[in-house]
């Protein structure tokens, strides 16, 4: 039997079959019983139960939202009042924010109940959740495997059934890759669609928030609450909805697309052009992943979609471009953590320069220091034009590949999320292999497009490991992506399966 959906929980709350306090306590108990997963960095039972009691009061007064009383949790790079916000770093191990992120505020106002703060790679820099100062998070399907990263705690907590959904962020695949490796559904929104206010910055021109849940249907209500203009984020997009009282953009787009699918009869995806990039079918793709993705594409074809071969020729360049641009931005963003204004302060220093150097050496982990040094080098005199400026030009070429494909060939692009299933914890000695694991996700962030991962199969391991299918949409087409994913999930059961170890 699968875990209850958000619709199930909303129905139970509406009919008073269960209270928000009872749901919160159940989630807290499950988080405690699965403590070995290390999915949470902090849990504050008193705060969670207080939010749940407030949600019950709203429901009793008939003022509840669809999400009122639903337990969830925040990735620990979203600043959250009452809970520590550490970004999984010693640098911020005891930081209590005086304000909360817009995404946190939106979901709190909707009446959701925060169960705690979720583990991640330090400052969201990593693809395995192993760089966390608080220790690696474990994959619920096999505790010897990584859950993916950087949003590993979000994916693991949802996959384990502790919470029905979680917030997450994605700078180079940090929602989609852990969703794929943990067998859940995750969506990264278009750059600018969700406010970045209060999300601790890694690479500001690529950071974007999203939601991880068990299914596309469960993502919709939460994503709809957080997709809106926010004047506090300089890159937030104003959709200028004509009717301020109409349903949100994502929900409206999703409902409209589903109606079109329903009217198409037994071939609901008829007329949908699905692009399959040649560059996503290389030798780096694990055979079992390739087979599962191919079967998923055939399922889309069986539902009526037209499958077309396309090319995204600059895909191989996404790795060098990303690993010049994102560290450069990280170098700038993390310069504020100097032990004086913000962050951990060393107790062994004779002068200001020594204080700053030692505070950063002690406060930042190895991967963060590596990326900061890479970024500082790329921005240094004599290398700025040769590295940073050139990488920006390549970024434009990558974005143009997608624009051309959507304008001329397809409505959505489909392929794998990760070349492999989850690897063993500790098998991260090959940096090149680790970076190549992001080959199918980085381009999306460089182009600023929306994309999602949904379960499409399992490996043949003794403990079968999940495989994810990636859907990439045109700008601000989150609702369409979710509707396509929902139609696929109506005809498959990959997303309903539960890890045997939970």
Q: What is the C-alpha to C-alpha distance for residues 356 and 358, in angstroms, rounded to an integer?
A: 6
- Given a cut of 80, whether residue 308 has pLDDT beyond it is yes
Q: What is the C-alpha to C-alpha distance for residues 30 and 42, in angstroms, rounded to an integer?
A: 14
Catalytic residue among 97, 151, 154, 174: 174
As a whole-number percent, the residues of the chain with pLDDT over 70 amount to 98
Catalytic residue among 30, 75, 188, 477: 75
Q: What is the pLDDT of residue 245?
A: 45
Position of tokens 């991880």? Answer: 212
**Regarding predicted confidence, which is higher, 256 or 240?**
256
331 is catalytic: no
Query: Does residue 112 lie within any of the structural domains?
Result: yes
Q: What is the C-alpha to C-alpha distance for residues 213 and 315, in angstroms, rounded to an integer?
A: 28
Q: What is the pLDDT of residue 431?
A: 83
Q: What is the pLDDT of residue 114?
A: 98
- Given a cut of 50, whether residue 296 has pLDDT beyond it is yes
Beta strands per DSSP E along 258-339: 273-277, 306-310
Could you write out the three-class secondary structure of 330-368? HHHHHHHECCCCECCCCCCCCCHHHHHHHHHHHHCCHHH
Residue 45 sits at φ, ψ, to 5 deg, of: -60, -40
Q: Report, as an integer, the average pLDDT of 94-101.
A: 96
Give the pLDDT confidence of 22-70 residue by residue, as tens digits: 999 999 999 999 999 999 999 999 999 999 999 999 999 999 999 999 9
Query: Does residue 160 lie within any of the structural domains?
Result: yes
Give the pLDDT confidence of 453-467 residue by residue, as tens digits: 999 999 999 999 999
Q: Report, as an integer, the average pLDDT of 469-488.
A: 98
Give the pLDDT confidence of 485-502 residue by residue, as tens digits: 999 999 999 999 999 777
Catalytic residue among 150, 151, 169, 453: 150
Q: Beta strands 451-458 and 185-188: pairing type?
A: antiparallel
Q: Report, as an integer, the average pLDDT of 240-268.
A: 82
61: containing domain = 6-270
Query: Does residue 315 lie within any of the structural domains?
Result: no
Q: What is the pLDDT of residue 1?
A: 56
Q: Report, as an integer, the average pLDDT of 5-15.
A: 97
Looking up residue 106, the CATH number of its domain turns out to be 3.90.1300.10
Give the pLDDT confidence of 125-183 residue by residue, as tens digits: 999 999 999 999 999 999 999 999 999 999 999 999 999 999 999 999 999 999 999 99
Query: Does residue 171 lie within any of the structural domains?
Result: yes
- In this prediction, residue 247 has a pLDDT band, given cuts at 50, 70 and 90, of low
Instruction: Look at residues 312, 302, 309, 308 and name the one whose alpha carbon lies nearest to residue 273.
Output: 308
- Given a cut of 70, whether residue 266 has pLDDT beyond it is yes
Query: Does residue 416 lie within any of the structural domains?
Result: no
Give the pLDDT confidence of 324-363 residue by residue, as tens digits: 999 999 999 999 999 998 999 999 888 999 999 999 999 9
283, two tokens: 């030798």
Q: What is the C-alpha to C-alpha distance for residues 85 and 104, in angstroms, rounded to an integer?
A: 12
Instruction: Give the total residue count for the chain.
Output: 502
Long-range CB pairs of 281-287, under 8 A, 24+ apart, other chains included: 281/415, 284/419, 284/436, 284/439, 285/416, 285/419, 286/419, 286/420, 286/421
Q: Which residues of 401-416 are buried (b: 16+ CB within 10 A; e: fewer)?
A: bbeebbeeebbbbbbb
- Given a cut of 70, whether residue 243 has pLDDT beyond it is no
Question: Are 116 and 83 contacting, i.e. CB atoms less than 8 angstroms apart?
Answer: yes
Query: Does residue 445 lie within any of the structural domains?
Result: no
Query: Does residue 436 lie within any of the structural domains?
Result: no
Q: What is the pLDDT of residue 240?
A: 60
229, two tokens: 């203009």
460 is catalytic: no
Query: Does residue 203 lie within any of the structural domains?
Result: yes
Q: What is the C-alpha to C-alpha distance for residues 219 and 227, in angstroms, rounded to an integer?
A: 12
- In this prediction, residue 15 has a pLDDT band, given cuts at 50, 70 and 90, of very high
Q: What is the C-alpha to C-alpha distance for residues 190 and 50, in angstroms, rounded to an integer?
A: 34
Q: What is the C-alpha to C-alpha distance for residues 175 and 484, in angstroms, rounded to an integer?
A: 18
Q: What is the C-alpha to C-alpha distance for residues 332 and 335, in angstroms, rounded to an integer?
A: 5
Taking the alpha carbons of 482, 488, 489, 490 in that order, is the dihedral positive or negative? positive
346 is catalytic: no
- The number of domains in the chain is 1
Q: What is the C-alpha to C-alpha distance for residues 331 and 329, in angstroms, rounded to an integer?
A: 5
Give the pLDDT confidence of 378-415 residue by residue, as tens digits: 999 999 999 999 999 999 999 999 999 999 999 999 99
Beta bridge partners of 473: 412
Question: Are 339 and 304 contacting, i.e. CB atoms less than 8 angstroms apart?
Answer: no
């Amino acid at each position: 039997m699968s875990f209850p959906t958000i619709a199930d929980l909303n129905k139970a709350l509406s009919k008073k079959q269960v209270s928000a306090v009872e749901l919160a306590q159940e989630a807290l108990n499950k988080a405690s019983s699965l403590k070995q997963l290390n999915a949470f960095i902090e849990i504050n039972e008193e705060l969670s139960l207080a939010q749940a009691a407030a949600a019950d009061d709203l429901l009793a007064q008939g003022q509840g939202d669809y999400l009122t009383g639903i337990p969830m949790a925040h990735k620990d790079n979203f600043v959250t009042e009452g809970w520590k916000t550490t970004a999984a770093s010693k640098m911020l191990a005891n930081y209590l924010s005086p304000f909360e992120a817009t995404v946190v505020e939106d979901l709190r106002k909707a009446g959701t109940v925060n169960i705690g703060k979720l583990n991640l790679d330090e400052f969201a820099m990593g693809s395995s959740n192993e760089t966390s100062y608080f220790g690696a998070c474990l994959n619920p399907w096999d505790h010897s495997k990584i859950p993916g990263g950087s949003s590993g705690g979000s994916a693991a907590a949802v996959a384990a059934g502790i919470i029905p959904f979680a917030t997450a962020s994605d700078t180079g695949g940090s929602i989609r890759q852990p969703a794929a490796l943990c067998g859940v559904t995750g969506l990264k929104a278009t750059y600018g669609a969700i406010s970045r206010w209060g999300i601790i910055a890694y690479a500001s021109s690529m950071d974007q928030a999203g939601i991880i849940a068990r299914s596309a249907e469960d993502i919709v209500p939460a994503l709809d609450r957080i997709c809106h203009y926010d004047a506090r984020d300089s890159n937030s997009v104003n959709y200028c909805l004509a009717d301020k009282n109409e349903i949100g953009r994502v929900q409206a787009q999703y409902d409209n697309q589903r109606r079109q699918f329903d009217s198409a009869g037994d071939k609901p995806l008829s007329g949908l052009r699905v692009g399959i990039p040649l560059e996503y079918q290389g030798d780096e793709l694990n055979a079992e992943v390739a087979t599962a993705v191919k079967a998923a594409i055939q399922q889309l074809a069986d539902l009526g979609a037209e499958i077309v071969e396309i090319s995204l020729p600059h895909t191989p360049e996404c790795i060098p471009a990303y690993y010049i641009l994102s560290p450069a931005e990280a170098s700038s963003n993390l310069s504020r953590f100097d032990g004086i204004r913000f962050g951990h302060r060393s107790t062994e220093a004779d002068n200001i320069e020594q204080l700053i150097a030692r505070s950063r050496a002690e406060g930042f982990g190895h991967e963060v220091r590596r990326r900061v040094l890479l970024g500082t080098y790329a921005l240094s005199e004599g290398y700025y034009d040769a590295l940073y400026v050139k990488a920006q030009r390549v970024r434009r070429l990558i974005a143009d590949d997608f624009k051309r494909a959507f304008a001329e060939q397809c409505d959505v692009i489909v392929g794998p999320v990760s070349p492999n299933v989850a690897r063993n914890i500790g098998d991260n000695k090959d940096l090149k292999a680790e970076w190549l694991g992001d080959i199918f996700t980085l381009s999306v962030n460089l182009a600023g497009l929306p994309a999602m991962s949904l379960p499409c199969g399992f490996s043949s391991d003794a403990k079968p490991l999940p495989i994810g299918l990636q859907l990439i949409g045109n700008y601000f087409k989150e609702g369409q992506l979710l509707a396509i994913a929902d139609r696929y999930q109506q005809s498959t059961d990959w997303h309903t399966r539960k890890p045997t170890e939970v």
